[in-house]
Amino acid sequence: MCFSPEADIVAGIVVSGVGVDALRHVKETKEYPLASLPLLLGMHLLVEAYVWWGEADRVPEFVGQAAVWVYLAFALGVLPVLVPVAIMAVEPDGRRRRFLMPVTAVGVGVSALFLASVITGPVSAEIEGCCLSYDTGPGYTGLLGALYVFVTCIPMLASSHRPLVAFGVVNLIAVALLAWLLASGLASLWCAWAAITSVLIAVHLRRAGMPASDRRPVGSDTATG
């Protein structure tokens, strides 16, 4: 995340708390992949604090390097699969689920390519202005980068659940803007933004767990008669 390790810690604790709340509102097993996203993204921010400290020589070098590896392995190797799988699992519409199947397959391919790059290395991070810049070999530019954006943002836009569509919209806008402003810092800044906006997932799960009589459709101003 931008600014400092302290910012990562504060945001990570808050988002992790949201994640715990999301898991508390799970009603069906199929909701667990989606409910786990805020908690995992919050913990992801906490890991990045160690990347900051490693770059500032405040922790042993091997700790900082391990944090870089864990951070990138999750961002590049887990999210491209977890996001479409989580959305597909809770999607009630059959046509939308069928659309998400090939998206998930693409996500597996993107994940495998990025994870191979992270494993074979070398990977590194450095402080660049107000954020961390990660060197992962193949970057976020080009076809692979476009596919990463596709599999991590588009599944939410295809959802029939409005809070998840909102999550997809804000993250798609953010990733496009950040890629234009600072491509090398995208892994740090976009993942932080995704973590913060994952509160929308908790909102969705809270609403899904409410009795139907207490639920009001998103955007509705008046109750139907």
175-221 residue pLDDT tens: 777 665 555 555 566 666 666 777 778 777 877 654 443 444 434 44
Helices 5-24 & 32-55, crossing angle to 10 degrees? 170
Listed residue (213, 205, 172, 163) closest to 190, CA to CA: 172
In this structure, what token pair is assigned to residue 164? 């998840």
Question: Does some domain include residue 85?
Answer: yes
Q: What pLDDT was estimated at residue 109?
A: 94
pLDDT greater at residue 50 or residue 212: 50
Within-domain flag for 219: no
Question: Residue 87 falls within a domain, yes or no?
Answer: yes
Q: Which of 194, 178, 173 is nearest to 133 (CA)?
A: 178
Residue 132 has pLDDT above 90, yes or no: no
Predicted local distance difference test score (pLDDT) of residue 217: 40
Query: What SS3 class is residue 174?
Result: helix
Region 15-26: mean pLDDT is: 88
Domain that holds residue 48: 5-211
pLDDT band at residue 4, thresholds of 50, 70 and 90? confident
Q: Is 207 part of a structural domain of the chain?
A: yes
53 — pLDDT class (breaks 50, 70, 90) = very high
Q: Mean pLDDT over all residues of the chain?
A: 80
More confident residue, 158 or 223: 158
Rounded Cα distance between 188 and 35, Å, is 22
Residue 62 lies in a domain: yes
Q: Which residue has better confidence, 168 or 178?
A: 168
Q: Which range (46-55, 162-171, 197-206) has the least confidence? A: 197-206
Q: Is residue 223 part of a domain?
A: no
Q: What does DSSP assign to residue 224?
A: -
Closest CA to 100 of 177, 139, 11, 108: 108
Domain count, the chain: 1
Is it the case that residue 156 has pLDDT exceeding 80? yes
Note whether residue 225 is domain-resident.
no
pLDDT, tens digit (0-9, with 9 covering 90-100), for 81-119: 999 999 999 999 999 999 999 999 999 999 998 888 888
